[in-house]
Chain A
């Protein structure tokens, strides 16, 4: 629908804006020596201008279909030329019909005959008006496109923000927090020194999480530090059941990744892997950098009988989504459950600080 017709209250100002055109048309028609009386000129000009005003609105559809873009510019020019001629013809036809109709009434006797010499001029004027209408419609289309782009951009920004918030919220799980507080409470009775240590480790983890949440990218080494801070809290909770093995490539550490990429994977490895095994196990974290690609691996053993617990899928989905948002098809993500272990592999272009 045309933007002027789409909302009530826009049509009247538009028609009012057309009235100066009606005045000009009346002056042209009634100019001395043309044999048209002044009231006849007005009686012709006002309805004809209004008619063109509506025909001009339909030019919008032609403008929308045929824009002057590089490969189709000529085709568009042709289409607009045809539309201009057609519109003009219809308009001149309307003028003839109107003049004939007025002519039935005595004061306008013979108007059509007297108007005939001006037919060609009217046709030319119609072409001119078409150009005016097309220009107006192109401006409207451009405005609309700009508004749409702005809205899309705002929507994208909201989506990105939502993803980040979800990542942050998912990352500090209430379960983890309450269990850690309970562990501190427990250690405070039996081993106050370790209780203090756990307070510090938990504080360190929370501080790091809050600090990275605002940023677009962090280095792999910062992300590793965050994961270590998380694991150091869990080590105090799980005791000897949890151990960690790192296999790092120093070329990978300065690479940039979105924050909270590795930590949720490590947390999943503990929650859905180590915590499901009576004897616990080892979480392995690997970072490799070769041929312009950064590869991150997280592997953990799991209880083969453990059903897939809810919650894990969401964290992984979030990581996958954030990778796709940043690198699109360039990012590779795979999560694989084998009978006795779980493996997550990420491969992305290696980006470093300039």
Chain B
């Protein structure tokens, strides 16, 4: 267990070398902190986290391919994230509101030390931010998820939501379908649905969500219920509630939404 004196294992993730070196320097000044690795992007961070099992990851928000929030989604949820940002008034407010830890650039050594102290505290109390806290901190109100990241063993898939055709809840996982392939992600369908644009993604069933742009037609049977046929031929069950949610988005042309 992590105490005030025990070793705190830290990962530093930033795409700029000078930023990494100053963060490492300030972190190593704090007694008991060990910087396991410096990573220049999210992929390196995932690899290093597998290899070194850190307690805390300092994650720069603005990075290529995978931003800091996406890296956190793919990391072991037991790793405490501390986000790093240079200037974003909105993000700073959101971090405060959702009790997500952050530090600002340029770094101040005292601020890094207090972030470490707080990290120890939170790890001891097992008080890690929930995925929904982090998700809320990642996006301003009214902005929707633009891409979904999925980890598949050593591989990371970045799926722009425009190419996401449907999602299916399977216990604690969602199966995301995109361009004929299926990806498994450990997330609830509800939290995925909450992050997506409701004008485009509709929960048609308790355990199904579809992208209306991919809807080819609706087939209705008064007794057996409805089913949605997607442009790739997939058939998705539609509940009565789902049907009433879908209807206003389809417009006057009936079942065909014309997207694709």
- Write the residues of chain A forming the contact surface with B, with a CB cutoff of 8 angstroms: 173-175, 177-179, 181-190, 236-239, 241, 275-278, 303, 305-307
CB nearest to B84 among chain A residues: A182
Question: Does B99 belong to the interface (CB within 8 Å)?
Answer: no
**Bound form: Cα–Cα A181–B146 in Å:** 31
**Bound form: Cα–Cα A183–B15 in Å:** 11
Q: Mark B84-126, 1 if CB is under 8 A from A, else 0.
A: 0011100000000000000011110000000000000000000
**Bound form: Cα–Cα A306–B159 in Å:** 10
Give min CB distance, A60 to chain B, whole Å.
52
Give min CB distance, A170 to chain B, whole Å.
14
Give min CB distance, A195 to chain B, whole Å.
8
Contact partners of B19 in chain A: CB under 8 A = 179, 182-183, 186
Whether A305 lies near B18 (C-beta < 8 A) is: no
Closest 6 CB pairs of A and B: A186-B18, A186-B22, A307-B146, A182-B105, A182-B106, A183-B18
Whether A183 lies near B65 (C-beta < 8 A) is: no
Give min CB distance, A350 to chain B, whole Å.
38
Q: Mark B59-85, 1 if CB is under 8 A from A, else 0.
A: 000101100000000000000000000
Contact partners of A183 in chain B: CB under 8 A = 16, 18-19
Whether A278 lies near B158 (C-beta < 8 A) is: no
CB nearest to B140 among chain A residues: A310
Whether A305 lies near B64 (C-beta < 8 A) is: no
Whether B20 lies near A186 (C-beta < 8 A) is: yes
**Bound form: Cα–Cα A211–B22 in Å:** 32
Q: Mark B7-29, 1 if CB is under 8 A from A, else 0.
A: 00000000111111111010000
**Bound form: Cα–Cα A178–B19 in Å:** 11
Contact partners of B88 in chain A: CB under 8 A = 175
CB nearest to A240 among chain B residues: B17
With known contacts A182-B106, A185-B106, A303-B65, A275–B15 Cβ distance under 8 A: yes
Question: Does B198 belong to the interface (CB within 8 Å)?
Answer: no
**Bound form: Cα–Cα A244–B22 in Å:** 27
Whether B106 lies near A278 (C-beta < 8 A) is: no
**Bound form: Cα–Cα A82–B114 in Å:** 89
Q: Which of B1-53 contact A (CB under 8 A)?
A: 15-23, 25, 40-41, 43
With known contacts A305-B147, A305-B158, A307-B147, A179–B64 Cβ distance under 8 A: no
**Bound form: Cα–Cα A276–B66 in Å:** 9
Whether A189 lies near B64 (C-beta < 8 A) is: no
Contact partners of A185 in chain B: CB under 8 A = 18, 22, 106-107
Contact partners of B106 in chain A: CB under 8 A = 178, 181-182, 184-185
Whether A189 lies near B21 (C-beta < 8 A) is: yes
